[in-house]
Homo-oligomer: A and B are copies of this chain.
Amino acid sequence: MTTLPTLSTGIRNARNVVHYLFGAGAIADLSAILDGHCHNTSRTAIFFIDHFFRNHNLSEGFNAVTSGHQIIYVDTTGEPTTSFMNFMRDRVVADSAELPCAIVGIGGGITMDVAKAVSNLLSNGGDAEDYQGWDLVRLPGIFKVAVPTLSGTGAESTRTCVMTNTASGLKLGMNSDFTVFDQIILDPDLTRTVPRDQYFFTGMDAFIHCMESLNGSYRNAIGDAYSSQTMQLCRDVFLGDDMMSDENRAKLMVASYLGGCAIATSYVGVLHPFSAALSVVLGLHHGVANCITMRAMEEFYPEGYSEFYRMAERQGVSIPEGVCRNLTDDQYERLYAATIIHEKPLTNALGEHFKDILTRWKVRELFLRM
C-alpha cells in the first residue's frame, strides 16, 4: 500500500483512469475484463445499471455478461444524496457477506458516481458523508469499471463522485485518487437511445466546464490543452448537422472523457456554483441546470454564451425558462447560500473578493434571469 505523499509545490498530482477501451461495440469486452479480476474466486461482480435499462436492451448478448453476478438498478430520477449512496452500499452488503470482485457502473453521471462511492465505502467502511471533501478516503476501493451510456459529465475520468449531504444540504463529492475508475469502456453505440434534449443538456456539461476553466485565473498548459480540445469536439458535434450521428456520438464521448481530464488540473467558474444551487434547492438535474444557468451568464462568459445559444438553436433544443420566478424569500436565501459556498471556483473566476461582486441582491437578480 502506497503512502499518499504530501507535495510541497502545491501542484496537483493528477490521477488518470488506468485503462480505457474506446470504440463502437467495445462493451463486448467487458466480460473478458471482469474475468481478469473475478476468475479463480467465487466472488461476484456488482453491476449498478441505470433503471432506464430495466426495460431497454443495453447491447446484444449483454445478459451473458451479467450471468452469475448481481445487478442493482439505479433510480436516477433525483440527484444522489449521501443517504442514497449508503442505501446502495447496504443493498450490496445485504446480499453477500463477501466483498465483490468488481463494481461496474453502467449509465450516466449518477450511476457512475454510485459505482465510485460504493466501491470506496465497501473498502473503507463508514458512511458516504464521512468522505465528502478532499482526500479523506484512506484505502483503494474495489476494482471499478465505468461504462458510460451518456456523454458530458466526465464522471468516467474524474476523481470525485457528486452527492448532496442529506443533513446539511451541502453538495460535495468524495474527492480522492481512489475514486478514479480502474477501467472505463467508451462505446459510442450505447448513447444511441438517449433522448435528444438530454443528450444536449448533458453534452453541454463538458463544453461548459471547459469554458469556465479557460476563463479562470488558475490555468496551466495541460488543463488548457484538454479544455480546448473538448470545446472543439463539442463545436464539431453541436454545430454540425446531426449531433447524434455515429461520428458525433463518438466525438462527444471523447469530449466527455477529455473534459473530465481537464478538471483534474483546473477549476470551474461562476456557472457551476449557480447550477449546483439549482440542483440542491430545486432538485434540477445537473445537465439541464447548467443550461438554465447559462441564461444569466452573458456578462461573465460573453463568447461562451453566444456559442451556447448558436448550438442550442442549431440542434432545435429549447432550454427551460423561468424556473426561479415566484420562489419564496427563504428559497432565494437558500439559493444564495448554496451558490456562494463554492469558494474555489468563484475565486478562480472572480478573484478572492467575489462576494463583493456576487452580492445577495445580484445573485437573486441572476437567478431571476434564468
Contacts and interface: CB of A to CB of B under 8 A. Distances in A.
Interface string A130-173: 00000000000000000000000000000000000000000000
Interface stretch (A7-15, A76-84, A292-300, A345-353): A7-15
Interface in A213-254: 220-222, 225-226, 228-229, 232-233, 247, 250-251, 253-254
Interface stretch (A19-27, A67-75, A333-341, A356-364): A19-27
A189 to B, nearest CB: 11
Q: How many identical chains are in the complex?
A: 2
Contact of A9 (B28, B39, B254): B28
A17 interface: yes
Q: Which of A19, A22, A186, A254 has the most CB of B within 10 A?
A: A22
A123 B133 CA distance: 37
A94 interface: no
A3 B253 contact: no
A8 B29 contact: yes
A238 B179 CA distance: 38
Contacts of A26: 9, 11
Interface size class of A (residues with CB under 8 A): 35 or more
Interface stretch (A30-38, A43-51, A276-284): A30-38
Contacts of A302: none
Contact of A28 (B8, B229, B255): B8
Given A9-B23, A9-B28, A20-B16, A2 B37 contact: yes
Contact of A13 (B21, B25, B221, B250): B21
Contacts of A257: 222
A6 B33 CA distance: 8
A258 interface: yes
A16 B13 contact: no
A5 B32 contact: yes
A13 B20 contact: yes
Given A221-B253, A229-B225, A254-B225, A11 B22 contact: yes
Given A16-B17, A221-B253, A265 B11 contact: no
A16 to B, nearest CB: 4
Contact of A8 (B12, B32, B247): B32
A256 to B, nearest CB: 11
Interface of A: 2-9, 11-23, 25-26, 28-29, 31-33, 35-37, 39, 177, 183, 186, 188, 220-222, 225-226, 228-229, 232-233, 247, 250-251, 253-255, 257-258, 265
17 contacts: A2-B37, A3-B36, A3-B39, A5-B29, A8-B31, A9-B26, A13-B19, A13-B33, A13-B183, A18-B18, A22-B265, A221-B247, A221-B251, A221-B254, A225-B229, A225-B254, A225-B255
